[in-house]
Amino acid sequence: MNAAPSSRLRIAVLLGGTSPERDVSIASGLRVMLALREFGHAVTPVDPARGVMTEREIHTLLTAGVQREPPTKALLECLRGGALGPLLGTLPEVRDCDVVFNALHGGEGENGTMQALLDSLGVVYTGSGALGSALAMDKDLSKVLFRAAGVGTPDWMMAPADPAKVVSTLGLPVIVKPSKQGSTVGLTLVKEARAIDAAVALAFEHDDEVMLEEFIPGRELTVGVLGDDALPVGEIFPVNELYDYEAKYTPGMAREVFPAELTGAATTAIQARARAAFRALKLRGYARIDFRMAADGTFLCLEANTNPGLTNLSLLPQAAAAAGISFPDLCDRIVRLAMRATEEHR
């Protein structure tokens, strides 16, 4: 049973947008909308690419789900042409709300651009601020800050890079991915040197910076951070070789275990590293920190997700459930954390 909310709030949920993670964002945002409505709040979904959603659109989208592939570049370009941009702040649903729940994933919704706009409007919003969001989205900068904070991370290089040097420095296989994208969009696990250039070219289709990262064989672990607390650690077992876009958003393509089967000491260690990574990037509210556990037991941080997925298959809600936090309660807590952070800043 969910606890009764301390007050009924007017909440605008931002969802959709124009990034390759648009479909995931819609699924997350609509689930958040339903949860917050269940908690008694007045909630309006707003798509920065198209405006306020009607109840008819909501009903249609609730049955669509997340497709196996991200939206096409042509569709996203079309949406960008009609996006509201700074006009978003003229919508009374946004301008006059008590808090914005930012359920946008990737692109301008997660890289600090939307956060800066909301700051300029004086609007309270969930998640990290403009600086933290920008730092977390840039995987190159994130890894520099992880190491400065004593949080281990796999070795990496930035493109352009000679394949021979990549192999001699990072070894094979190697991960090639856009430096500022999420949901493994444009990511390739490269096993042969001759395939590196093609993987880099693919990643450049999704971003203007591309990272080549040492592949760490081992266990795939994730830690949610909610306020000052680290949630139960989760372990991911994808059907495919990688926990890719399809595995993340297609039922049956991955198995997640919460809490992960770790010793108490290992659990404490990885949760401490998650909190350290959270602080190093100046994050706030909530996030999800992803790790690999190498064969020798070392934890290596891959990245931080400032607006992690909140779909029915997503990892953060599973971590919260393992801690006894229902999804409506999780969403309400995220809202309250945003309001508390705003009050403390004033």
What are the DSSP E strand ranges found in the chain?
Answer: 10-14, 42-47, 51-52, 99-102, 156-158, 174-178, 188-190, 210-214, 219-226, 229-230, 234-238, 254-257, 286-293, 299-305
Sheet (strand 188-190) strand order: 156-158, 210-214, 174-178, 188-190
Q: How far apart are the first and last CA of the chain?
A: 34
For strands 42-47 and 51-52, give the pairing. antiparallel
C-alpha R_g of the chain: 19
What are the residue numbers of the active site?
21, 183, 249, 288, 290, 303, 305, 309
Q: Using CA atoms, how far apart are residues 58 and 61, in angstroms rounded to an integer?
A: 5
Summarize the chain as % helix, strand, coil (round to 5). 40, 20, 40
Burial class (CB in 10 A: 0-12, 13-18, 19+), 149: middle
Strand partners, 283: none
Three-class secondary structure of residue 200 per DSSP: helix
The H or E element that residue 115 is part of is helix 113-121
